[in-house]
Amino acid sequence: MAEPGRLDLSEPTAQNAIHGLTRWSAWSLASHAPHEVVLRLALLGRTGYPFRLDLEVEYHLSDADGLTVRVTAGNAGTRPAPYGTGSHPYLAAAAPVVDGCELTLPVARWLPADSRGIPSGPAQDVAGTPFDFRAARPVGTVTLDHAFTGLDRDESGVAWARLTCGGTGAALWAGPGYRWLQAFTGDTLDSAHRRRAVAIEPMTCPPNAFVTGTDLLTLEPGDTVTHTWGIQAIGG
């Protein structure tokens, strides 16, 4: 299998390639209905990523289940392709800032990172750290921009994260295959957006997986894989 090379530095101040290969791509509208939209993209290789993937994302909204997102990737090339997917939703509650909101993260370990956000060591136990939100508690002054793993799942294999304030808020669920959650309190954003919500990002692999290989998937030619996540309202 050919390995990825140096990707475009989409965060030049930190010399990082961040937020994946398709964030700024022109996705095509494949279909739409009152409660469903399907987008598609043929990824015909990028700098440092000489592979072809056919990608599809389906967004479905229902009263019963809230928002459901299905991300499908197929290897349309002739070589095995390394693959990982992540999404970047934010959860908000009825509060101007998240400090007084209660956060629940169903995770056992957090991943240390350096000043560039590059993992700097193996995942550590959250017990006894400021990052232990396994039981709901206020966000307080904790700054989060970390990847977490060791997800606790229900009987259907789904992991749930929640942000609430006064009994209302939102829950994110991550289906099988999502082995990581990135949590971000937005402290580096501008003042209009800083700590107004918490990003809970379902990811199949951690940052820098093209280098480390941690939880990186390999799609053989013709292989297809689908991952599903969603958001539901709480109270309100």
- Residue 91 is assigned to a structural domain of this protein: yes
Q: What pLDDT was estimated at residue 48?
A: 85
| Mean of pLDDT values over 55-76 | 97
| Mean of pLDDT values over 191-207 | 96
DSSP 157: S
d(CA 173, CA 86): 13
pLDDT higher than threshold 50 for residue 1: no
For residue 161, give Cα distances in angstroms to 1, 122, 180.
Answer: 36, 23, 12
Q: At 168, is the pLDDT very low, low, confident or very high (cuts 50, 70, 90)?
A: very high
Tokens of 119: 């993992």
d(CA 132, CA 106): 9
- Residue 109 is assigned to a structural domain of this protein: yes
- Residue 171 is assigned to a structural domain of this protein: yes
Tokens of 42: 């043929």
Burial per residue of 157-191, b for 16 or more beta-carbon CB atoms within 10 angstroms, e otherwise: ebbbbbbbbeeebbbbbbbebbbbbbbbbbeeeee
Please give the model's pTM, rounded to 2 decimal places.
0.92
**Domain that residue 179 falls in:** 12-234
Q: At 118, is the pLDDT very low, low, confident or very high (cuts 50, 70, 90)?
A: confident
Q: At 29, is the pLDDT very low, low, confident or very high (cuts 50, 70, 90)?
A: very high
Rg, Å, the chain Cα set: 18
Q: At 94, is the pLDDT very low, low, confident or very high (cuts 50, 70, 90)?
A: confident
The total of structural domains in the chain comes to 1
- Residue 4 is assigned to a structural domain of this protein: no
CATH number at residue 143: 2.70.98.10
- Residue 189 is assigned to a structural domain of this protein: yes
- Residue 161 is assigned to a structural domain of this protein: yes
| Mean of pLDDT values over 159-174 | 97
The DSSP result for 97-115, as a single string, is: SSTTSEEE---SEEE-B-T
- Residue 116 is assigned to a structural domain of this protein: yes
Q: At 117, is the pLDDT very low, low, confident or very high (cuts 50, 70, 90)?
A: confident
**Average pLDDT score, the chain:** 93
d(CA 168, CA 95): 10
Q: Would you state the torsion angle of the CA atoms of residues 167, 170, 175, 179, taken in this order, to the nearest 10 degrees?
A: -90
Q: What pLDDT was estimated at residue 47?
A: 79
Nearest to 196, CA basis, from 209, 208, 205, 187: 187
For residue 96, give Cα distances in angstroms to 38, 75, 85, 89, 204.
Answer: 33, 43, 31, 18, 31
| Mean of pLDDT values over 191-208 | 96
Q: At 208, is the secondary structure helix, strand, or coil?
A: coil
- Residue 212 is assigned to a structural domain of this protein: yes
Nearest to 20, CA basis, from 82, 114, 115, 85: 85
